[in-house]
Amino acid sequence: MSASLPADKNARQSILERIRSRELPPRELPPLFDEGIRYADRWAQFQEVLSSVGGQFLSVADRDGVAATLAKLPVVESSRCRACTVPDLHFGNLDLNAVDDPRDLAGLDLAIFPGQFAVSENGAVWVTDESIRHRAALFIAQHLLLVVRQPDCVDNMHQAYQRLAFGERGYGLFISGPSKTADIEQSLVIGAHGPRSLTVVAVP
C-alpha cells in the first residue's frame, strides 16, 4: 500500500527544522477579503463574461419549459451519446453509474450536469462530482451543459467561497467557458482537450 518511503521521515524533519531555525517577525493574517465588486444585474454580468470566454448562456423563465427549451438546442439535438444527472431532466441515454471504467466514456457527445452556483465576475460555475460517478465525464465529453438555479448566482469569488465548505473528501471546480488554448501564437482556439462548448442554463 502507500507506506511512506524511507527518505520521507528525514526529509520532513529537516525541512521543518530548517524553516523553524530562522525565527521570522510575526506577520498578521488579515481578515478574509470582502470588498469584492457587486453588480446590479448578476446574471447579465455573468452572461457577458461567459460569452467573452467562449461560453453560451440561456435563461429559461418557467419551470415547465426547461426540457422543451433544452431539447431544441443544437448541441442537444446533434448529440448521440448523452449523460445527464440533472434531476427531472431525461436527456441521458448513457448511465454513468453503469460504466465502470471512465475510459469507456471516450464516445460521450454531451454531458448535462447540475452546477451549484454561478459567479458573475468571471462567468464561472461551481460544479462538484457528487452526482457524477466519473468526474472524467466533465472533461471528456465533446460538449458540456450545466444547469444552475436562478437564485444561485453570486457577485464575486469572495462570496463564492463563503458558500463552500471543504470538510470532507471531495472534488469540485469552477468551470468558466469551454476548454481552450492560445498556445499557438496566442490565437485563441476553443476545444483544446476538453469540451468544445459550454452552455450554462439558468432555470427557475
**Range 161-200, binding another protein (CB under 8 A):** 161-162, 164-187, 189, 191-195
Residue 133 and residue 97 in contact, taking contact as beta carbons nearer than 8 Å: yes
CA 44 to CA 123: how far, in whole Å?
Answer: 10
> Does 156 contact another protein by CB under 8 A?
yes
Residue 89 and residue 147 in contact, taking contact as beta carbons nearer than 8 Å: yes
CA distances from 123 to 15, 135, 187, 203, 204 (A): 40, 21, 21, 16, 19
Q: For another protein, which is the closer residue by CB, 43 or 60?
A: 43
Q: Least distance in Å: CB of 70 to another protein?
A: 23
CA 71 to CA 76: how far, in whole Å?
Answer: 6
> Does 136 contact another protein by CB under 8 A?
yes
CA 95 to CA 82: how far, in whole Å?
Answer: 9
Compute how many residues bind another protein; rule: CB under 8 A: 79
Stretch that binds another protein, among 66-74, 76-84, 89-97, 131-139 (CB under 8 A): 131-139
Q: For another protein, which is the closer residue by CB, 61 or 192?
A: 192
At 100, is the secondary structure helix, strand, or coil?
A: coil
Q: Least distance in Å: CB of 67 to another protein?
A: 28
Q: Least distance in Å: CB of 68 to another protein?
A: 30
Binders of another protein among residues 63 to 92 (CB under 8 A) are none
Q: Least distance in Å: CB of 157 to another protein?
A: 4
CA dihedral 22, 25, 31, 35 (to 10 degrees): -110
Q: For another protein, which is the closer residue by CB, 37 or 61?
A: 37
Binders of another protein among residues 29 to 68 (CB under 8 A) are 29-30, 32-33, 35-37, 49, 53
CA 105 to CA 127: how far, in whole Å?
Answer: 19
> Does 14 contact another protein by CB under 8 A?
yes
